[in-house]
Amino acid sequence: MEDMKNISNRINISASRVQRKKKIAKMAKMTLLGLVVLLVVSYAIVGLIYNSGNFSITLDRNLYFQRNLIIYDDPEYKVFRTELRAETIESLDNISHRWLPDNLHDHPGGSHNGENYIAYTFYIENIGDMISNYWTEIEIVDVISDVDEAVRIRVYKNDEYVTYAKMGSDGNPEPGTIPFMSDDLVALEHVQNFKPGDIDKYTVVIWLEGSDPECTDNILGGEIKIQMNFNSEFVEK
């Protein structure tokens, strides 16, 4: 009788061990599955961010529906759109600002990228019958490997340009540039007295400045996404 009890106990212990092993294996599978799902979601998010290009423009719908402002990159095709996207460049090597063509702002519209720089020309126009205004901002949407430390963003507006760069590591503006307003906000402008028929032409040029002390091997393989927004009201970041 005692032997039967011992055998029964051993069977119960073995069964418990098997059940624990099954639970542990199930938990391990669930954990692994969770990690895979997390990686897939993360990859999808990154893909959505960077597959849309390095530079894009968005228009607040209120600027169209309430103020009759539109954006376009083809003067022969003026339709309402809330977003414009520049053609992306797979990789950017560093260059000097001196290598940029002098007539980038003369392009009629759309992408006109060159060797190791992004260039995009577009317009905003008041097609209504009332004087209006708009806010425009340029923001860093995402960045990998601190590429923003060496990036340059030149904005031509009606043939006049300003070049923006992140503040230098020594606490001073980079030569010939205006510092970013913050880590994420490059520039902000309030355009007023925008009359019916008025058109503002923008050309945005983006490159990595080789003369920047932060342009080192540390930023190799990095990426950056920049967005220019046209808003009906000031949006505090």
Instruction: Please state the pTM of the whole predicted model.
Output: 0.78
- Show the domain range for 22: 1-51
Task: Give the per-residue pLDDT at 37.
Answer: 32
Question: Same domain, yes or no, for 150 and 59?
Answer: yes
> What's the rounded Cα separation, in Å, for the pair 232 and 64?
9
- On whether both 7 and 112 belong to a single domain, the answer is no
236 inside domain? no
pLDDT tier, 24 (very low <50, low <70, confident <90, very high otherwise): low
What mean pLDDT, rounded, does the chain reach?
85
| Residue 237 located in a structural domain | no
CA 145: distance to chain centroid? 14
Q: Is residue 144 predicted with pLDDT exceeding 60? A: yes
**For residue range 208-226, what is the model confidence (pLDDT) as tens digits?**
999 999 999 888 888 999 9
Q: Return the number of other C-beta atoms located less than 10 Å from residue 139's C-beta.
A: 19
Cβ-based burial of 212 (10 A; exposed 0-12, middle 13-18, buried ≥19): buried
In a shared domain, residues 35 and 4: yes
Query: For the chain, how many structural domains are there in total?
Result: 2
pLDDT tens digits along 53-94: 699 999 999 999 999 999 999 999 999 999 999 999 888 899
Give yes or no: residues 13 and 117 share one domain: no
